[in-house]
């Protein structure tokens, strides 16, 4: 069997309390107004990592598998992605085979700052969050990626107290348990 290195990124997620301010800072750093992307992520039961189908609500989507630790602060995420032109039928097949863990609907504003994807997300049922995804270059160490993320976090005014662990799906499921 051929082994391959999965692409990786260093990711930080945090709650955003001042949406206009964060949006303005991200726009300045990226020198753009950002791109709006509507997404519906369906998470499926799987034995390791996370498997989600991202539907862009325009007839296209991506099946994404990823693994990363549930800790706050910068963390390494390894992933693989397969594009699809029929997210609905793929959702049906995966739902029948694995069962659905849950669904996350969000409007994402994407800004690009150097090698980092800055996401400003409004998540149904959760509120406003930001994600930094430092897309790692093959020669970069995890520590270098973490430094890029921490520097950008500082430039965007994101406090360590606002950091969150886990995926939006986890936060939604936890909210249902607490209710």
* Contacts with 179 (C-beta within 8 Å, 6 or more apart), sequence order: none
Name the band, by pLDDT with cuts 50, 70 and 90, for residue 72.
confident
Q: What pLDDT is recorded for position 68?
A: 84
- The pTM assigned to this predicted structure is 0.89
Other CB atoms within 10 A of residue 161 CB: 8
The pLDDT tens digits of the residues spanning 82-126 come to: 999 999 999 999 999 999 999 999 999 999 999 999 999 999 999
Q: Where are the domains of the chain?
A: 8-178
CATH class held by domain 8-178: mainly beta
Name the band, by pLDDT with cuts 50, 70 and 90, for residue 179.
low
158, 43 in Cβ contact below 8 A? no
Q: What pLDDT is recorded for position 175?
A: 84
The pLDDT tens digits of the residues spanning 25-45 come to: 999 999 999 999 999 999 999
* Contacts with 35 (C-beta within 8 Å, 6 or more apart), sequence order: 109, 110
Q: How far apart are CA 49 and CA 32, in angstroms?
A: 34
Q: How far apart are CA 151 and CA 138, in angstroms?
A: 20
Q: What pLDDT is recorded for position 4?
A: 60
For the chain, state the CA radius of gyration. 16
Q: What pLDDT is recorded for position 18?
A: 94
The two tokens of residue 177 are: 């348990």
Average pLDDT, the chain: 93
Residue 13 or 72, more confident: 13
CA distances from 55 to 36, 106, 137 (A): 14, 11, 27
The two tokens of residue 9 are: 């990124």
The pLDDT tens digits of the residues spanning 123-169 come to: 999 999 999 999 999 889 989 999 999 999 999 999 999 999 888 99
Q: How far apart are CA 156 and CA 30, in angstroms?
A: 11
The two tokens of residue 46 are: 């799987």
Name the band, by pLDDT with cuts 50, 70 and 90, for residue 62.
very high
Q: How far apart are CA 97 and CA 119, in angstroms?
A: 31
């Amino acid at each position: 069997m051929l082994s391959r290195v999965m692409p990786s990124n260093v990711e930080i997620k945090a709650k955003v309390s001042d949406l206009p301010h964060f949006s303005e800072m991200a726009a300045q750093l990226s020198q753009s107004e950002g791109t709006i992307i509507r997404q519906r992520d369906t998470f499926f039961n799987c034995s390791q990592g996370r498997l989600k189908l991202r539907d862009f609500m325009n007839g296209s989507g991506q099946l994404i598998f990823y693994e990363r630790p549930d800790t706050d602060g910068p963390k390494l995420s390894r992933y693989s992605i397969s594009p699809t032109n029929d997210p609905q039928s793929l959702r049906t097949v995966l739902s029948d085979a694995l069962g659905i863990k849950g669904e996350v609907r969000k409007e994402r504003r994407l800004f690009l700052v150097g090698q980092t994807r800055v996401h400003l997300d409004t998540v149904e049922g959760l509120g406003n969050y930001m994600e930094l995804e430092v897309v790692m270059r093959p020669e970069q160490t995890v520590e270098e990626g973490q430094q890029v993320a921490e520097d950008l976090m500082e430039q965007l005014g994101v406090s360590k107290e606002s950091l969150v662990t886990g995926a939006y799906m986890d936060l939604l499921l936890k909210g249902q348990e607490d209710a």
